[in-house]
A = this chain, B = another copy of it.
Amino acid sequence: MSFADEANSDVPTLPGTHSGIPTYLLEKARKEKETVFETRTKPINERQRLPVVPQGIERDDFLKALAELKGQLGAEHVEVNDKPLRDGWYMEHPNTHDMMTILDEEELVASAVVYPSNTEEVQEIVRWANKYRIPIFPISMGRNLGYGGAAPRVRGSVTIDLGKRMNKILDINPEDYTCLVEPGVSFYALYEAIQEKGYDHMWIDSPDLGGGSVLGNTIDRGVGYTPYGDHWACHSGLEVVLPTGEAIRTGMGALPGNNTWQSFPYGFGPYSDGIFSQSNYGIVTKMGMTLMPNPGGYESFLYTFQKEEDLAPLMEIIRPLRISNILENVAQVRHVTQAIAARGLPRATFFSSSGPIPNNIIHAAAAKTPVGDHTWAYYGMSYGPAHIRAHKLALVDSEFLKIPGAKKIDTSTLPPDEYFWARDRVAAGVPDIHELRWVNWTPNGAHIAFSPVSPIRGTDATALFALGKAAHDKYGIDFFPAFCVGLREMHLIVEIVFDRDDVKARKAALDCLRDLVDEAAELGYGEYRTHLVLMDQVAKTYSWNDGAIMKFNEKLKDALDPNGILAPGRCGIWPKRYRGRGWEMTRDSGMGSEGNGVAAD
Chain A residues packing against B (C-beta within 8 Å): 175-178, 201, 221, 232-233, 236, 242, 246-250, 252-260, 262-264, 266-279, 281, 290, 293, 295, 319-320, 323-325, 385, 387-388, 391, 453-457, 460, 486, 488-489, 521-530, 538-539, 541-545, 548-549, 551-553, 555-556, 558-560, 571-573
User: Contact at B489–A257, with CB atoms within 8 Å?
Assistant: no
User: Contact at A175–B319, with CB atoms within 8 Å?
Assistant: yes
A586 CB, min distance to chain B CBs, angstroms: 15
B-side contacts of A572, CB under 8 Å: 269
User: Contact at B526–A268, with CB atoms within 8 Å?
Assistant: yes
Q: List 25 A-B contacts (CB under 8 A).
A: A176-B319, A247-B548, A255-B521, A255-B524, A255-B541, A258-B526, A260-B453, A260-B454, A260-B455, A260-B489, A260-B524, A264-B486, A264-B528, A266-B278, A267-B528, A267-B549, A268-B526, A268-B528, A268-B542, A269-B572, A269-B573, A271-B274, A274-B275, A275-B275, A293-B324
A247 to B551, alpha carbons, bound, how many Å? Answer: 11
User: Contact at A552–B521, with CB atoms within 8 Å?
Assistant: no
User: Contact at B391–A526, with CB atoms within 8 Å?
Assistant: no
A559 CB, min distance to chain B CBs, angstroms: 3
User: Contact at A457–B175, with CB atoms within 8 Å?
Assistant: yes
User: Contact at B290–A249, with CB atoms within 8 Å?
Assistant: no
User: Contact at B274–A278, with CB atoms within 8 Å?
Assistant: no
A269 CB, min distance to chain B CBs, angstroms: 4
B-side contacts of A276, CB under 8 Å: 270
User: Contact at B555–A559, with CB atoms within 8 Å?
Assistant: yes
A553 to B385, alpha carbons, bound, how many Å? Answer: 46
Q: Which of B281, B295, B526 touches A255 (beta carbons < 8 Å)?
A: B526
Chain B, Cβ-Cβ closest to A273: B274
A269 to B271, alpha carbons, bound, how many Å? Answer: 16
User: Contact at A253–B544, with CB atoms within 8 Å?
Assistant: yes
B-side contacts of A538, CB under 8 Å: 268
A240 CB, min distance to chain B CBs, angstroms: 9
Q: Which of B176, B524, B530, B555 touches A259 (beta carbons < 8 Å)?
A: B524
B-side contacts of A274, CB under 8 Å: 270-275
Beyond A263-B455, A263-B489, A388-B388, 12 additional contacts (C-beta under 8 Å) are A176-B455, A177-B323, A248-B548, A258-B525, A263-B456, A266-B278, A269-B571, A270-B279, A270-B556, A271-B277, A271-B278, A274-B274
A559 to B558, alpha carbons, bound, how many Å? Answer: 9
Chain B, Cβ-Cβ closest to A221: B266
B-side contacts of A573, CB under 8 Å: 269-270
Chain B, Cβ-Cβ closest to A274: B271
User: Contact at A269–B488, with CB atoms within 8 Å?
Assistant: no
User: Contact at B560–A555, with CB atoms within 8 Å?
Assistant: yes
Q: Which of B290, B527, B551 touches A268 (beta carbons < 8 Å)?
A: B527
B-side contacts of A526, CB under 8 Å: 252, 255, 258, 260, 267-268
**With A264-B488, A388-B391: A252-B176 Cβ-Cβ less than 8 Å:** no
A460 to B186, alpha carbons, bound, how many Å? Answer: 32
**With A267-B542, A271-B274: A254-B549 Cβ-Cβ less than 8 Å:** yes
B-side contacts of A246, CB under 8 Å: 545, 548, 551-552
A530 to B323, alpha carbons, bound, how many Å? Answer: 34
User: Contact at B548–A254, with CB atoms within 8 Å?
Assistant: yes
Chain B, Cβ-Cβ closest to A559: B559
Closest 9 CB pairs of A and B: A559-B559, A271-B274, A257-B524, A263-B488, A254-B542, A270-B279, A264-B489, A254-B549, A255-B526
User: Contact at A545–B248, with CB atoms within 8 Å?
Assistant: yes
B-side contacts of A277, CB under 8 Å: 266, 270-271
A467 to B236, alpha carbons, bound, how many Å? Answer: 27
